Structure 1
Amino acid sequence: MIDISRIKAITLDLDDTLWPVWPTIAGAEVALSDWLNQYAPATAALSQEPELKKAVRAEIAQRHADQAHDLSFLRREAIREMLLRAGDPGHLAEAAFEVFFAARQRVELFDDALPALAFWSQRYPVVALSNGNADVHRVGIGQYFHASVSAQSLGVAKPDLRIFVAGAQAAGVLPHEVLHIGDDAHADCVGAMDAGMQVVWLNREGKDWPQANHPSHPAPVQVAELNALCALWLPPTKGDPPARLSSSA
């Protein structure tokens, strides 16, 4: 069960919690391809080979394993590698990445995202806690957030304990006073549990809890949409029992 009386802040994942990430990335890839067609056509042609692009990104990730937390860096360097392999100037990577990055901020929010953000931001400091490189201000929802902590800015990614502690510190509270909400069972839920936070798993697709055989990580409270979670704070309609959620929700 969620103990509302303990909550003094909320940390919130972004990608696949407030919006579906892969349509966003696909749109950013199209924007990048259009730019390359205009300014680096040889690279644009080379980029039409999906297996090569995949191999280049894997090579860059291996070469810069110490930067695994920084998706922007890895994406920029993968673009640079493609430019060089095609015989185009490597310095174009900066401009090309900015095109990709700007398009990456054009998200389509889930229907329940804005109402939930408005609801919680009136009650608690809300801190974005993301492994991705979305910018809540460029997305257009910065007004709902007290702070934003990313793997890129901190140097470690979820489920590392330190990013959850940093999220609590950004809100000015202790980890056990935080409710963390996210869609990733391992990165969000296991990480937040280990940090001592209360946890809600946003399980939009009705997946099974993958940690079922790990008693140290029992299934957390789960919801299929954020509206169901917000209902916990609302008084029941006359004749209805109070809203309750459990790990079997």
Structure 2
Amino acid sequence: MAFPIRAITLDLDDTLWPFAPIGARVERVLHDWLTQHCPLTAQRFPIEAMRELRERMYVERPDLAHDFSQLRKLSLVRAMELAGDDPLHADAAFEAFYDERNRVDFYEDTLDALARLAARVPLAAISNGNADLARVGIGAHFAFQLGAREHGMPKPHAGIFHAACARFPFAPHEVLHVGDDIEMDVVGAHRAGLRSCWINRIGAQWPHEDVRPDLQFTTLAELADWLDSTHTMETVAA
């Protein structure tokens, strides 16, 4: 399928890099930091207990469901207070966590594909997570980054998609959103009026009959191939 697009928005976790290895790593790094600097907290809240505390914070603060960073900080403050450590250490503990959170191992095709896409159309990131493009090292490819924390509402709400389109500024139907998550990315973008591209690296089956992605690929490189082909056809037609 070929159709004109003027910009692309991209999901981050599990679209540009796998998140599972990061999620496992950050918990260990944070616990090691606490063991060194806040031993009472590390003793009372080993990894599993800290995870359970954070989940309780999610329940207590539904108003922060879109802000993983703030929930993490509040969880650290609560843990330190309960354990008897100085909660003023929470910011430094979060920084240790956040530094590791932004150490990513890209999918093999990601970096080359990003460069190819950015050479064709402007790119933006739309994410419910808290990765930082500058820390990750790919900020130069993007016109901007819009997170659920900054917007105040996560995907799949239409508002975050519309806010990104307005910042380009292009109409929603002129923007292609690319992501791995069926509901958050593809269905959310479709209902917001954007074109949608499903990056299905794991061979999942599409579950909906009433909504389908405009494009479906197994890698970001295939999307770059499609965009190159589309732009070539547009140049020939012109």
Question: Do Structure 1 and Structure 2 share a fold, with TM-score over 0.5?
Answer: yes
CA positional deviation for 1:47 = 2.5
1:17 corresponds to 2:15: yes
**Match of residue 47 from structure 1:** 45
Superposed counterparts of 1:99-110, under 5 Å: 99-110=96-107
What is the TM-score with the length of structure 2 in the denominator? 0.92
Aligned to 2:178: 181
Cα-to-partner distance string for 1:47-70 (whole Å, 9 max, x where unaligned):
3261x3333112101111101000
Moved over 6 A (4+): none
- How far the C-alpha of 1:220 sits from its partner, in A, is 4.3
Q: CA deviation at 1:235?
A: 4.8
* Structure 2 residues without counterparts, runs of 5 or longer: 234-238
Partner of 1:121: helix, strand, or coil? helix
**Paired residue for 2:153, among 153, 156, 165?**
156
Change in 2 beyond 3 A, CA 1:47/1:126? same
> 1:189 offset after TM fit, Å?
0.5
2:36 is aligned to: 38
Q: State the shift of 1:202 in Å.
A: 0.6
Output the CA distance in 1 between the equivalents of 2:213 and 2:107.
24
Which stretch shifts more, 72-81 or 139-148?
A: 72-81
Distance 1:123 1:220 in 2: 19
Compared CA separation, residues 165 and 38, structure 1 to 2 (3 A): same
The equivalent residue for 2:134 is 137
Structure 1 vs Structure 2 CA RMSD: 1.7
Q: Report the number of matched residues.
A: 231
Residue of structure 2 in register with 1:227 after alignment? 221
Among 204, 207, 216, the alignment partner of 1:207 is: 204
SS of 1:189 mapped into structure 2: helix
1:118 aligns with 115
In the other structure, the counterpart of 2:75 is 78
Match of 1:69 in 2: 66
Moved more, 160-169 or 26-35: 26-35
d(CA) in 2 for partners of 1:171 and 1:155?
A: 19
**What SS class does the counterpart of residue 145 from structure 2 fall into?**
strand
Distance 2:126 2:100 in 1: 21
Other structure's SS at 2:87 match: coil
